[in-house]
Each structure stands twice: as structure tokens, then as C-alpha cells.
Amino acid sequence: MKISKKIGFIGAGAMAEALIKGLIKSELFKSNQIYISDIREERLKDLKERYALETTTDNQEIVERVDYLILAVKPKIIPIVLDKVGKNISKSQKLFSIAAGINTMMIEKHLREKVSVIRLMPNTPALIGEGAIAYCLGAFAQDEDKNLVNQIFETVGMVLEVEEELMDAVTGLSGSGPAYIYLIIEALSDAGVNVGLNRNDALSLALQTIIGSAKMVLQSENHPGQLKDMVTSPGGTTITGLKILEREGVRSALYQAVEAATIKSKELRGEK
């Protein structure tokens, strides 16, 4: 379903481009409905040539021309941007933020009107349309805004609503999670080389094993623990390997990694 409104991005980083690609590919928006601003003129020139977008170095121009505004700059830049344009964002507009750690209350303090603010936490697989995107609504957002969030952000992955107090946990799990998975892929590949496989074969087998296993969880009605048990024969190779993983604390390490990243997300915002 096409949207007739105009959408604008402040910030022209990789995540903004991923969203632009998704919006155009899905035909939700046409190129001439999408505006983007950034201080890097070369970056804007590149995006204009690639996607035929409307570009500018003036954030205020974006605010004046769009119905939906996406803040896609680094978290430390958000207060600077909003100090300049926040007073001109009207309650008829929708304001989305994908800046990690910046809560909706912090954004609302910079706005003159009661604007619908939606905070989102996408992860890097959104760059290939396979992201995990969690969101929460600000104080003045409406239930109808949920449909809009789904429409826009499902173009780059799965969308899930959570309470704002859980957004740090989302950062610890799915925000940082790709790095955990890359480490596991690398370790499995190295382990394959260690037992005699060549590097390319080991990496291919590790990748497809993880992709296939994830799809099994998604497509079956079984709990991951049940699927694990289906692979595990009495006295066999898999239970022998699982015994080592449990002994070496792999499960515990993942618990601790997610918890530590969650705590760090709060600390970066000045909370304990």
C-alpha cells in the first residue's frame, strides 16, 4: 500500500540508506517523496545520483517539507539538531528516532508542540532487509502510529513493540547481538579448520548451519530446546559436543554478554 505523505531523514548514514532502499523497493514511497539532509555534500550527491532523492544540507528545510521525520544521526548529535529545529516540528508531523540510548522524553523536551515521537532500535542486518527493529511510543503518540511504524520499518526487517523501559535490553540483545553471532560464526569456522576442513568449506558449513537452524526455529512450532533434543542421540556426537559447551560456560557467557551490554546502554545515557 503506497503512502502519499513525504518522509525526510536528518542524517545520511548507512541505516538511513538501508531504510531508503527498503521504502523504494517496497514502493511504499516514490523517490520524489523522500528527502534527506546531511552536512556531507559528497554523501548527498551520491545518494541523489543513486536514488533520485531530494537532498539538502539544511535540516530546517527537511522539517518544513515532510510529514514524517526520521532522526538518523549519532546520539550525541540529537540535542544539537533538536535545539535548532525542534521548535518548528508541529504536532501534525510524526517524529521517529533511531538514535541508540536517546529516550522519547529527552526528545520531547526539545519540542514546542505535543508531537508523536516514536523511538526505534534497529540492528545492522536491516542493511540487507533482515533487521530486528524494536520500537516504543512517546507520551503523545497514538495507537494508530503503530500501523505506520510497521508499514515503514517492515521494509527492512521484523518489527516488535516493547515498553520503553525495555529498550536497553533490546540494545543488549538484538542491537549488539549480530556481533555475538559473527563471533560464533568465526569460532565455528576456525573449529572446522582445526579438525581438517579447508577455510572456505568450514565457513560455508558454519554459515548454512546457522541460517538453517534459525529458519527451523522460525518455521517449526517447537521450542529451540526441543529442536536441540531432536539432534541429540544418546551417547552420540552432539551430546558430547554439548557437554563441552555447557562445561565451558557458553550459555552463561551469552547471559552475561547481554546483561553487560544492557547495563552499558543505560550508562551511556547517564543512568545506573
Q: Which residues line the annotated binding site for NADP(+)?
A: 10-15, 72-75
Q: Which residues are annotated as a binding site?
A: 10-15, 59, 72-75
Strand partners, 217: none
- Residue 163 class from Cβ within 10 Å (0-12 exposed, 13-18 middle, 19+ buried)? exposed
* Binding site members for NADPH: 59
